[in-house]
A and B are shown apart, each in its own frame.
Chain A
Amino acid sequence: KQEVTQIPAALSVPEGENLVLNCSFTDSAIYNLQWFRQDPGKGLTSLLLIQSSQREQTSGRLNASLDKSSGRSTLYIAASQPGDSATYLCAAPGAGSYQLTFGKGTKLSVIP
């Protein structure tokens, strides 16, 4: 059964700093890995989807990488802004599974 871990659970950075969020997974036979953003009490917004055949995916100031062999993905946020403050979740299905398993998230605070 797939297990997804996100470290750290919380992160506080000053505005303008570049930062990296980490996600690790136990079952490397994944179809894809998806990063989401969740604002307090709100739904999940999809940020990036990386297919198993890809190593990177970029959207604006966000860049996600995927290393299946090591069971790791990172989300890089460039030039962070206060509006980036939210909880970031990664999710991956397991081998032969249609079920997404989520990490518990990293709560990011960007201080003006």
Chain B
Amino acid sequence: EAQVTQNPRYLITVTGKKLTVTCSQNMNHEYMSWYRQDPGLGLRQIYYSMNVEVTDKGDVPEGYKVSRKEKRNFPLILESPSPNQTSLYFCASSLSWRGHTEAFFGQGTRLTVV
């Protein structure tokens, strides 16, 4: 089954403790991205990747890192999480970065930083 898989689905952590949220897709998609969703603010893009070893900032990149060493994986790294990063996070992928193709989303990771 074609899908985008995120792990973990739920995570509670303490301020400053490094964490990684994994994202994997099995559709051989070129383009992958991370979003956060907050009440009243909607979905905002954090980082995106057009292909292996090609990443760039979205609208809200501060406090986050990403890497794209393999085509299927695009982990989101919070080196020193803070409470304002408490949010619902989504990973997405699409076949091409050229913008003509459908975006598929993971089931989300609900992160709470205390």
Contact = CB atoms under 8 A, between A and B. Distances in A.
Interface in B20-64: 31, 33, 40-43, 45, 48, 50, 58-59
Contacts of B99: 31-32, 93, 97-98
A105 B45 contact: no
B42 A51 contact: no
A98 B48 contact: yes
Interface residues of A, number: 23
Nearest to B99: A31
Contacts of A46: 102-105
Given A45-B105, A104-B42, 20 more contacts: A31-B98, A31-B99, A32-B99, A32-B100, A41-B110, A43-B107, A43-B108, A46-B104, A89-B42, A91-B43, A93-B99, A98-B31, A98-B48, A98-B50, A98-B97, A99-B48, A99-B59, A100-B103, A103-B42, A104-B41
Contacts of B58: 99
Contacts of A32: 99-100
B98 to A, nearest CB: 8
Interface of A: 31-32, 34, 36, 41-46, 49, 51, 89, 91, 93, 97-100, 102-105
Interface of B: 31, 33, 40-43, 45, 48, 50, 58-59, 88, 90, 92, 97-108, 110
Interface of A is mostly: strand
A99 B45 CA distance: 8
B43 A89 contact: yes
Given A43-B90, A98-B48, A100-B45, A31 B100 contact: yes
